Structure 1
């Protein structure tokens, strides 16, 4: 399937106190949606406020990037969190970000799980249901950004929540359309030219080359550009430039 347009999203606000991981201001000049860390894997009140203001000034959509409570592990460690506790913590994170989004004259437009939680809800129905409950607890029927074919998306649709399919320009894929786990060699694509080529292929033709060499269908309305890799800003600019040169409109999904 070919999309006439695609959204570009990036994980932003991934700092804490004086420590900053992402170049938020520069990336916000490229992306159309900002997944803002809500304090559980990264981020704090001052950072959330700053990123929301910058995003609103640039008409970039603000999304709540919710996570397990894991600052030390950057939200990438597997955790066993009771469903009722996870639902409450998801709602808590969304609510915290909403305060700063509204103060900036914007709003939280969608929700995206982060790290270990993102991967868990691809297949775990209990944890997926907890994330959905957390979104509903927040008081808004917000779209959920995630992997096509995930349990999260299937269950969200049954609950009446919109879903937005996502692809990753710099992550390796398996033959079944899943992401290769980060712990495995080659999980992250380091070659900028390959990232750009994969981005255009996914946006124009809905396909990506898996690690095995097979061509895999990727039904994505949004393309994630990681902001925590070396040269992230220049790579993001290159991806956007090549997408537009290929006739793909870069615009928000909501």
Structure 2
């Protein structure tokens, strides 16, 4: 069974009654419940815990890490960011959600600012499926409609995605690359835009389906061939009579 660790800074739920009413168990609790119902083994971690709940032991037991952050990106310790990055490079999957585009973890793995334009006006968002054959789009129709959303607009300062699964259109006219797949080292990353804290986005069935599909897609592949690096003996016999290597 795939083990998913759901990380949430867990700040808005404690400071904003609207957010607390929508997510009484925290955003991490809502996501954990949805993934539990889709057959994943889940555990949660938050900013306030020692080492933000992401100790070496926790990450070693994590197949997929989901990350939601917004108000406290700078409070995440650099050593924890580096630890997460290393686990991704070694094969742990990462699902980056909504405003975590500006998290230290995502920016470190992308190597860009990950900046964008935004507007909070409770406008309709339509996420068009632009890659319907991708596993993350399984069970989704032509589009997902989110009745109330925070707008994110281009230009989104990210590397060109390996695959683009969703492109959003907003009621105000903007468009946005909302479902982006990447490979870093041996790990897979999926960025998924919806999820503003004052709207019940993570209670929406189609959004939950995407999260489950994404966790499945970024999960490590147990059948992947072993990767061999470093100095290596030849697999064929080499004529050494013209060897000029320095010893």
Report which structure shows greater RCO (CA 8 Å, sep ≥6). Answer: 1
TM-score normalised over the length of structure 1 = 0.37
Higher strand share: 2
Larger Rg: 2
TM-score normalised over the length of structure 2 = 0.38
